[in-house]
Amino acid sequence: MSEPRRRAPRADARRNYERLLAEADAAFRQEGTDASLEGVARRAGVAIGTLYGHFPHRRALVGALLRDRNQALFARGEELQSGSTAAAALTQWVHAVVEHAAAYQGLAAILAAGLDDEGSELHASCLRMADISDRLIARARAAGALRQDVTSADVHALMNAAAWTREHMPAEQADRLVKLTMDGMLSSAT
Amino acid sequence: MSEPRRRAPRADARRNYERLLAEADAAFRQEGTDASLEGVARRAGVAIGTLYGHFPHRRALVGALLRDRNQALFARGEELQSGSTAAAALTQWVHAVVEHAAAYQGLAAILAAGLDDEGSELHASCLRMADISDRLIARARAAGALRQDVTSADVHALMNAAAWTREHMPAEQADRLVKLTMDGMLSSAT
DNA sequence: ACTTAAACTGAGGCATCCTCGATATAGTCT
DNA sequence: AGACTATATCGAGGATGCCTCAGTTTAAGT
């Protein structure tokens, strides 16, 4: 239990790690999250084994790429806890998450799976996101702005569905879906 | 231009065709639309080349499998043109399509792509579906039951999104999403 | 310089996709 | 029956991707 005191990573390791991340990001943007990992390694000028050394599986790569982006999203979420109307805050949060979850083609599916899948790097982030959502939902409900029968699962379903939509249709269409559904969720409160 | 007058297919060909369809259906149900085609051929007791002889690509297989099911769906659609309320008819249609489009994991994506993709077998079916939808939408709008700003693209987006949801979450959750969104779409009419 | 843990390499086993020339056979014609 | 031929089937093989691991290289501490 005595903290092995890991040495700092070697310079070449760090270099390759960054290079891989950059190329993976490019590849995922172009071809979606199921882009060829051998292709990524090749473009990064590195052997395939090196890629697997840094990222044992595809999810790890996706997780690493999302880390920064996640921080920004969480910050936005916390910010929304106080400002604006309860209803507007929730709506904006949903839009923010949808945009985030549609960064790469196929990401929505990975995230949807990752919520259950204990132990993935994504799992922690998903929990954090869920927590932020829950608080915004509670606030909206307390303010009487949200239909009583709307659950947080409903909101998450919408987020995922809209993210997927954004991957397969014009972004504007996904936004309209969110708007219409939120209208349904917020409307008959009173 | 003189109709080559194709001879009827050979008995073994017909047999293999049916066998392949049956096994493909089983495989797609279990593993989704990206199940291994070599596996399908193997399970059908046929060489891989035979499979490709009958179905040049995966889409053709999916299209053939959907043909019957599509007929039933279309029938239901026509039936809904007259009975019930305009609003109820539209809602039921959406539910029907969603259930249809979630028959296999991954089907939603194929259908979403197939709508644009001229010339796929699915394209014709997609057009037919779109037509039915449009008429139900027009009817609902004429009855003043649908918000004026809701487009048929919105309805299709919902269908696809909900179908995807059904693939990744409990079916009941997808149904709730449909219900909530329809509430938003139907509500502020007057 | 020397040492060594850390990192890299890439061949190789396995799965899948899809094509195409060689081979088999169902159905027909005499 | 036997032979003919359009139709079908077969399955090896090239291409690509996944992932592992034994062997080799190298950064960095002494």
Protein B16 CA to nucleic acid C29 C1', in Å?
Answer: 27
Protein B7 CA to nucleic acid C27 C1', in Å?
Answer: 11
Residues from chain B contacting residue A98 (CB–CB below 8 Å) = none
Residue B15 distance to chain A (closest CA, Å): 36
Protein A170 CA to nucleic acid D15 C1', in Å?
Answer: 34
Q: Which bases of chain C are under 7 A from a protein CB atom?
A: 5-12, 15-21, 25-27
Architecture of the domain delimited by A1-56:
Orthogonal Bundle (1.10)
Tell me the average pLDDT across B150-154: 97
Residues from chain B contacting residue A160 (CB–CB below 8 Å) = 164-165, 168-169
Amino acid letter for position B97: V
Q: Does A105 touch chain B (CB under 8 A)?
A: no
Tell me the average pLDDT across B41-62: 97
Q: Which bases of chain D are under 7 A from a protein CB atom?
A: 6-13, 16-22, 26-29
A125-180, pLDDT tens digit by residue?
A: 999 999 999 999 999 999 999 999 999 999 999 999 999 999 999 999 999 999 99
Protein B22 CA to nucleic acid D3 C1', in Å?
Answer: 36
Spatial separation of the C-alpha atoms in residues B140 and B137, rounded to whole Å: 5
Listed by start position, the domains of chain B span 1-56, 57-186
> Looking at the partner chain, which of B151, B174, B183 has a beta carbon nearest the beta carbon of A187?
B183
Query: What residue spans of B102-170 are helical by DSSP H?
Result: 107-114, 121-142, 152-168
B82-127, pLDDT tens digit by residue?
A: 988 999 999 999 999 999 999 999 999 999 988 777 777 789 999 9
* Residue A32 DSSP symbol: -
Amino acid letter for position B140: A
CA distances from B101 to A85, B96, B156, B166 (A): 37, 9, 12, 9
Give residue A120's pLDDT: 76
Q: Does A165 touch chain B (CB under 8 A)?
A: yes
Task: State the pLDDT confidence band at B130, using cuts at 50, 70 and 90.
Answer: very high
- Lowest model confidence (mean pLDDT) among A175-184, B5-14, B33-42, B97-106: B5-14
DSSP B60-117: HHHHHHHHHHHHHHHHHHHHHTTSS-HHHHHHHHHHHHHHHHTSSTTHHHHHHHHTTS
Q: Does A109 touch chain B (CB under 8 A)?
A: yes
Give residue B118's pLDDT: 75
Q: Does A115 touch chain B (CB under 8 A)?
A: no
CA-wise closest residue to A133 among A83, A74, A190: A74
Cβ contact A180–B109 (<8 Å): no
- pLDDT of A189 over the 60 cut: no
- pLDDT of A46 over the 80 cut: yes
Per-residue 3-state assignment (H helix, E strand, C coil) for B17-37: HHHHHHHHHHHHHHHCCCCCH
Give residue B4's pLDDT: 56
Query: CA-nearest residue of chain B to A164?
Result: B161
> Looking at the partner chain, which of A164, A182, A184 has a beta carbon nearest the beta carbon of B164?
A164
Quote the mean pLDDT of chain A.
94
Protein B14 CA to nucleic acid C24 C1', in Å?
Answer: 17
B55-89, pLDDT tens digit by residue?
A: 999 999 999 999 989 999 999 999 999 988 999 99
Residues from chain A contacting residue B162 (CB–CB below 8 Å) = 161
Q: How many C-alpha atoms does A175 have within 13 Å on its Cβ side?
A: 8
Q: Has domain A58-186 been given CATH number 1.10.357.10?
A: yes
Residue B26 distance to chain A (closest CA, Å): 23
> Looking at the partner chain, which of B113, B150, B164 has a beta carbon nearest the beta carbon of A161?
B164
Q: Which CATH number fits domain B57-186: 1.10.630.10, 3.10.20.600, 1.10.357.10, 3.40.50.300?
A: 1.10.357.10
**Which residue in this structure is represented by tokens 């609902």?**
B140
